[in-house]
Chains A and B, each alone.
Chain A
């Protein structure tokens, strides 16, 4: 895979060096971080963090594999929660990155991988969605929007695009959540977490979603908690937690909480 040769994977403790396939990653290509999607399809989609080890070529591109983005469907729509840290190797480039792209008033896209790739293609998607709306006099469905994005990037497969995004929205069939990446994967699901901190996020959300029928408040808290826990353990995630809620009227920006504040809040709750 072109991307694999560009990146050399140094990962956090839980994964191996190099491109070893993990047991549960059926791994289409080498750039996996061995995380299955919820449905058990053994698709690996999270990308490894890049590093400048000195053995590989100098990497001047800033990637956002070091990230935690998360989205899950629940009774009242979709919760989208992301962190806001950008790293270049072990250097924290920014703590205030906007990793949720507002495609249009009822569609959101998250950003993982190359920031430029994500924002460019999602803005292009916004243009396509608007044209569709004007031509057909009705909003585009989440399935169609994610399909358009997947088809667009598929043409550049193997040319070094790096994008792992979740397209979230609400259409006439209800809440919609699709994971689309630059490998050409497009998967529908109820829960996705992408990035180096995704494992920690999964742990929180999986246990929190056991109780069905979450209220909006509870779901937001769960999303916020999941990102917080990921930032607590993952060095490459941090900054603020940006939380969005997608419902039948569109999306709402629920909150932006600094992780350190959340830490103090949760600590005091423990006491």
Chain B
């Protein structure tokens, strides 16, 4: 009977792949880009805002969500799946506070989310979650953390990472430009995130949503004005750099 959910959907292929999980990762690649950067005293999450229909209210769907005062996450992939994962994570954050009398560490909640995702790759009648998540925050002892999970249920810590559409391009940009100097101040870290997103986002600041967590403070979503200001700053800097290079060429 169908009600028994006997059949597992995620089964091994002859050459050892879990195709459902890999298809889920394809779904993630279709989602809008998200980038996460771990600074010294700040963690930054930036997402590409998808263009909103004329009659649609802009603020209904936020891709950056707080899980607790000191942890937040951004995702790429199926929004509906993300809602479920975020709900469970939020409940777990509070359960942890209740039983252990301490806020969660970023690693703990990441592990919880990853375990949840893995469970769905090994269950009857269920498909994997089609999202990758970037989880950022500060631990009790003040260390900033950035973790990434994917549909298979694995998680890793990163200094900076990107997920979603054109994630590879953004990651390469970050690999070139993430240095200890480039994230020296909070502002620099934010600008690096914006620069990374500008690589792949069309039409500039309007389509970027940015959130930051500073040590001992809760999640702050940057207003579009602030983002615009930073974008103009970045473009200025770009022009200045381009001009510096010019005279050298014409000798």
Most chain A beta-carbon contacts within 10 A, residue among B100, B105, B108: B100
A147 at the interface (CB under 8 A from B): yes
Size class of the contact patch on chain B: under 10
A-B CB proximity, top 8 nearest: A144-B100, A143-B101, A147-B99, A144-B101, A147-B101, A136-B108, A141-B102, A151-B99
Contact with A along B86-120 (1 / 0, CB 8 A): 00000000000001111001001000000000000
A sample of 13 inter-chain contacts (CB < 8 A) reads A136-B105, A136-B108, A141-B100, A141-B101, A141-B102, A143-B101, A144-B99, A144-B100, A144-B101, A144-B102, A147-B99, A147-B100, A148-B99
Interface SS majority for chain A: helix
Give A156 to B230 CA distance when docked, in angstroms: 59
Q: Which residue of A lies closest to B111 (CB)?
A: A135
Shortest CB-to-CB span from B122 to chain A, Å, is: 19
B-facing mask of A136-173, CB < 8 A → 1, else 0? 10001101100110010000000000000000000000
Give chain B residues whose Cβ lies under 8 Å from the Cβ of A140. 100
Measuring CB to CB, which residues of chain B are less than 8 angstroms from any residue of chain A? Answer: 99-102, 105, 108
Q: Which residues of B contact A143 (CB under 8 A)?
A: 100-102
Report which A residues bind B (CB closer than 8 A): 136, 140-141, 143-144, 147-148, 151
* Docked CA distance A143–B98 (Å): 11
Nearest Cβ in chain A — how far from B92, in angstroms?
14
Least CB distance from B114 to A in Å reads 13
Q: A141-B100, A147-B99 are in contact. List 10 more A-B contacts (CB 8 A).
A: A136-B105, A136-B108, A143-B100, A143-B101, A143-B102, A144-B99, A144-B101, A147-B100, A148-B99, A151-B99
- A44 to B186 alpha-carbon distance, docked (Å): 53
Question: What A residues does B99 contact at CB under 8 A?
Answer: 144, 147-148, 151
**Which residues of A lie under 8 Å from residue B108 when comparing CB positions?**
136
How long is the Cα–Cα vector from A100 to B213 in the complex, in angstroms?
45
A167 to chain B, nearest CB (A): 13
Q: Give chain A nearest CB distance to B111 CB in angstroms.
A: 8
- Chain B residue contacts of A141, Cβ below 8 A: 100-102
Give the residues in chain B near A136, CB-CB below 8 Å.
105, 108
Q: Cβ of B100: which chain A residues have Cβ within 8 Å of it?
A: 140-141, 143-144, 147
- State the CA gap A148–B98 with chains docked (Å): 10
Chain B nearest CB, measured from A42 CB (Å): 23
In whole angstroms, how far apart are the Cα atoms of A15 and B50 in the complex? 74
Q: How far is A148 from B99 in the complex, measured between Cα atoms in Å?
A: 7
Give the distance in Å from the alpha carbon of A19 to the alpha carbon of B102 in the complex. 38
B101 / chain A contacts, CB cutoff of 8 Å: 141, 143-144, 147
